[in-house]
Amino acid sequence: MDALETLNYKFADCEGLEFVKIGDLTLAKIDTPLTQAIVAVQGAQIVEWKPANEDQLVVWRAKEPTYETGKSVRGGVPICWPWFGNHPNLTMAHGFVRFKDWILMNAQCDSDGQMHMHWRITDDAESLALWPHRFELDVIMHIGTELRIQLVTHNTGDESFSITQGMHTYLNLGDTRSTVIRGLEGGYYLDKLKGFARTPQDDIITITGAMDRIYFGTTHTVEVEDAEFNRVIVVAKEGSHSTVVWNPDENVPSGMLPEESRNMVCVEAVNAADDTVSIAPGERKILGTTISVRPMN
């Protein structure tokens, strides 16, 4: 049996779950009375998600992404760990776990159609060469009318370590030009497009061009009001004191067409820059995010 057949055999009793291969990647396709989602084994990455009763995806995926080993699918919720953003020496942004194949420890579908998945990776020779610490990393997903993801870092070594991390959540919008983002006003952000200049955010956010910002002191829920699709996407979080808001405008990265930036924004539950997390030997710490959606009117 190859890896795909093994997964389909092992989780054959889990209704609404099927494993398929696209390009290089093995993907879990979830289709239940409550929800539709795709999760990649590489990176334990949610690739797309919506509640079954929504017409449009809530978690966005590029129209023509590449499904390649060593590359995140453009969209979804890439897991960034153990560093978020650029590394001082390596060219690899957002850590290495988004490029690793994760082990699906368990998958279970409730009778109402809610899917639960538990993914794990641990340190190995390759990870230790990039980042010299022992760890066990779990991703717990509850996929239903809401999408809840928890990233649990367990320090299995005998020295403390420090991480930055993120749930790089892409949200699907009818049109950025008629979208506002509430919940980050009143604080400040570091503007990556202006040399990380510290900038106050007095008002609610509108998306008028490229933005790449880290908002600080933001533990609370953010609401993304999308007039075009007449809905509000709610991003709640735990264990995070910073939030990234990103839209590339026409400077799109690989795997995305320039016109597609009108239909997405990333609102990311992160621990970024000075918002580091220190984990003692034997300790576990959680970063979590919950995405939900409601009608605007």
Ligand X SMILES: O=P(O)(O)OC[C@H]1O[C@H](O)[C@H](O)[C@@H](O)[C@@H]1O
C-beta of 98 vs 118, nearer to ligand X: 98
By CB under 6 A, name the binding residues for ligand X.
72, 93-94, 168, 192, 212, 244, 246, 253, 266
Q: Is 220 a catalytic residue?
A: no
- Cβ proximity to ligand X: between 209 and 253 the closer is 253
Of the two residues 94 and 118, which places its CB atom closer to ligand X in the complex?
94
Nearest distance, CB of residue 252 and ligand X, angstroms: 10
Instruction: For residue 168, indicate whether it is catalytic.
Output: yes
What's the closest the beta carbon of residue 82 comes to ligand X, in angstroms? 15
Q: What are 79's two structure tokens?
A: 């897991």
Nearer to ligand X, 51 or 248 (CB): 248
Q: Return the residue nearest ligand X (CB atom).
A: 246
| Maximal C-alpha separation, the chain | 58
Among 94, 168, 241, 260, the active-site one is 168
CA dihedral 73, 42, 141, 255 (to 10 degrees): 0
Q: Which of 48, 146, 260, 268 is catalytic?
A: 268
Q: Tokens in use for 158?
A: 């005998």
**Cα(122)–Cα(214) distance, integer angstroms:** 29
Min separation Cβ 159 and ligand X, Å: 29
Residues catalogued as catalytic: 168, 268
